[in-house]
Amino acid sequence: MVERQACCACGEVASEKELMERLDETIREYRNKPGALIPVLQIAQGIFGYLPETAMKRIAEGLNKPYSEVAGVVSFYSFFSTKPRGKNLVRVCLGTACYVRGGKQVLNAIKKKLGVDVGDTTADRQFTLEVARCFGACGLAPAMMVNSDVLQRVKPARVGEILDKYRTA
């Protein structure tokens, strides 16, 4: 049997076994600390790039918590993802001001350019597309974010140019 290769968020290629060993080290370090679940989940997401079910089960077992509690925390916080994410997180604001000023058209242009729907990641793992409700840039709507960069007065025609700046080889 060939061991699957996975790429952690740091960019290095590691086997599934090596990633699980890193997770086990983290669990051992946090096992007896109060409030350990969220930090362990954050570290695990850094290791895997997302939270696969096998990792969540390992965390539940290692921290002596029911799997339902771990899965509940993961599904509650938008920071956590159970699907692989791209290197770049693209969020389009659909708050009232952005929506009225063309946020939906910006979103549609991004969906078309990337060939994905909201919540999905491009096949090359470059981009993950999400929507948000407000970035606090209402006066400069429509707005979008790529990673931590807030882009304002976005025009659907410029979406391709914007995304190309974030694409890596």
**What is the residue-level pLDDT of the chain in tens, covering all 169 positions?**
333 344 444 455 678 899 999 999 999 999 999 999 999 999 999 999 899 999 999 999 999 999 999 999 999 987 899 988 899 999 999 999 999 999 999 999 999 999 999 999 999 999 999 999 898 999 999 999 999 999 999 999 999 999 999 998 5
Q: Which CATH number fits domain 88-166: 3.50.50.60, 3.40.50.720, 3.40.30.10, 3.30.950.10?
A: 3.40.30.10
Q: Measuring CA to CA, which residue among 89, 16, 10 is closest to residue 46?
A: 10
Q: Specify whether the CB–CB gap between 37 and 69 falls below 8 A.
A: yes
What is the reported pLDDT for 139?
Answer: 94
CB 26 within 8 A of CB 36: no
Taking the C-alpha atoms of residue 84 and residue 48, their distance in angstroms, rounded to an integer, is 8
Question: Cα separation of 74 and 76, whole Å?
Answer: 6
* Burial (0-12, 13-18, 19+ Cβ within 10 Å), 126: middle
Q: Directed axis angle between helix 37-48 and helix 53-62, to 10°?
A: 150
Instruction: Give CA–CA dist 143/97, Å, rounded.
Output: 9
102 Ramachandran zone, left/alpha/beta (phi>0; psi -120 to 50): left
Please provide residue 93's backbone torsions phi and psi, each rounded to the nearest 5 degrees: -75, 130
Q: Which residue has the tokens 């740091």?
A: 10
Token readout for 146 is 């790529």
Q: pTM for this structure? A: 0.69
